[in-house]
Amino acid sequence: MFNKNLISKYLLPIIFLVSATATLGSLYFSEILKLPPCVLCWYQRIFMYPIAFISAIGIYKKDKNSVVYILALSLVGLTVAIYHNLLYYGILPESIQPCTLGVSCTTRQLDLLGFISIPLMSLAAFVLISLSSLLYIKMQKK
């Protein structure tokens, strides 16, 4: 039904595009728009930025094992992103927020189309990267 080689050929470049877009987007928000990142945003950046570099190197070197490292980083980042979204949308109580200094993790700094927040964009990026990584690993085993 699907050409597995063709799909797996494009998964690592997709991971690169998503992570590079997320990296450049976060830098644009903080450095150009002057929106200060909260504590949880910093943690998500810590896990997103290396994914862009690892995926670029994986593409250049044709290293199929790079996806294992990408998956590890993306799953930790995904966990932080889920937690951040639960706080941001008020599902978790404010009493368990780690953001005590600087910008609150629940501050609405940007809402595209009225509902797409910065935490939601991060969550979407980590979900796409994690699913692409899992699919890539699954296809390499067959």
Query: What pLDDT was estimated at residue 45?
Result: 93
Percent helix, percent strand, percent coil in the chain, to nearest 5? 70, 5, 25
- CA-CA distance, 10 to 7, in Å (whole number)? 6
Q: What pLDDT does 4 receive?
A: 67
pLDDT tens-digit readout, 7-27: 668 899 999 999 999 999 999
| SS3 call for 117 | strand
Bridge partners, residue 112, by sequence: 116
Neighbour tally for 71: CB within 10 Å = 20
- pTM for this predicted structure: 0.86
Residues 6 or more apart whose CB falls under 8 angstroms from that of 97 comprise 87, 104, 105, 106
| pLDDT (0 to 100) of residue 107 | 62
- Three-state SS for 112? strand
| Spans in the chain with pLDDT lower than 70 | 1-8, 94-115, 142
CATH architecture of 4-141: Up-down Bundle (1.20)
**Six-digit token string for 85:** 């979204």
Domain residue spans of the chain: 4-141
pLDDT of residue 104: 62
pLDDT at 79: 97
Phi, psi of 116 (to 5 degrees): -90, 105
